[in-house]
């Protein structure tokens, strides 16, 4: 009963989220500017102030966004106009097509490849017996051992687990 209710709520929330996405939101300085980079070389996005003092590009780009929003253009159209004016480098992230897809894919691939490597290492470690003499098999200096024992005793602590 509880799980049914949970599933229904989840589906309702998902539908609401999808419906919300579907409705084209009115573009704002934040929504458009956060996808565009100031062209002065500061690498900052247009929705935030430019790091270069009195940057002419930043003021110009913000004015263009405001003008196009006032003209009733949607986000995609405004971005297209920016690409036509400044080139594709005006986008804060490259369009996800062709070679540019790799910018998004490779970090994920790297993450998964790293995980695979960790799992392989763990499997090998678990299977393989110790290949060289373990440190515990080395002769232990009695002075060192006494120092450690005294320390553990004085702390009143055992080794965890």
Name residues contacting another protein, limited to 47-66 (CB under 8 A).
48-54
Query: Rounded CA gap, 33 and 31, in Å?
Result: 6
Residue 139 CB, nearest approach to another protein (Å):
11
The strand pairing partners of 91, in sequence order, are 36
Site string for another protein, 105-124 (x = CB under 8 A): -xx--xx--xx-xx--xx--
- Do the beta carbons of residue 58 and residue 40 sit within 8 Å? yes
160 binds another protein (CB under 8 A): yes
1 binds another protein (CB under 8 A): no
The nearer residue to another protein, 15 or 48, going by C-beta atoms, is 48
Burial of 61 (C-beta count, 10 Å sphere; 0-12/13-18/19+): buried
Residue 106 CB, nearest approach to another protein (Å):
5
Residue 111 CB, nearest approach to another protein (Å):
4
Which residue in the set 27, 33, 35, 69 belongs to the binding site for another protein (CB under 8 A)?
Answer: 35
16 binds another protein (CB under 8 A): no
Query: Rounded CA gap, 94 and 90, in Å?
Result: 9
Residue 104 CB, nearest approach to another protein (Å):
8
93 φ, ψ to 5°?
-135, 145
The angle subtended at Cα 30 by Cα 91 and Cα 79, nearest 5°, is 35
């Amino acid at each position: 009963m509880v799980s049914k209710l949970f599933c229904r709520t989840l589906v309702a929330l998902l539908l609401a989220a999808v419906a919300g996405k579907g409705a084209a939101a009115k573009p704002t300085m934040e929504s458009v500017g956060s996808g565009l980079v100031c062209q002065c070389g500061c690498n900052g996005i247009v929705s935030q102030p430019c790091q270069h003092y009195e940057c002419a590009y930043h003021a110009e780009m913000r004015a263009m966004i405001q003008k196009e929003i006032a003209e009733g253009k949607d986000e995609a159209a405004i971005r297209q106009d920016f690409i036509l004016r400044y080139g594709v480098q005006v986008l804060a992230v490259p369009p996800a097509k062709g070679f540019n897809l790799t910018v998004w894919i490779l970090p994920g691939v790297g993450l998964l490849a790293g995980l695979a490597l960790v799992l392989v290492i763990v499997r090998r470690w678990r299977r393989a017996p110790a290949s060289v003499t373990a440190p515990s098999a080395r002769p232990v200096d009695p002075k060192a051992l006494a120092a450690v024992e005294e320390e553990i005793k004085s702390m009143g602590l055992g080794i965890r687990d």
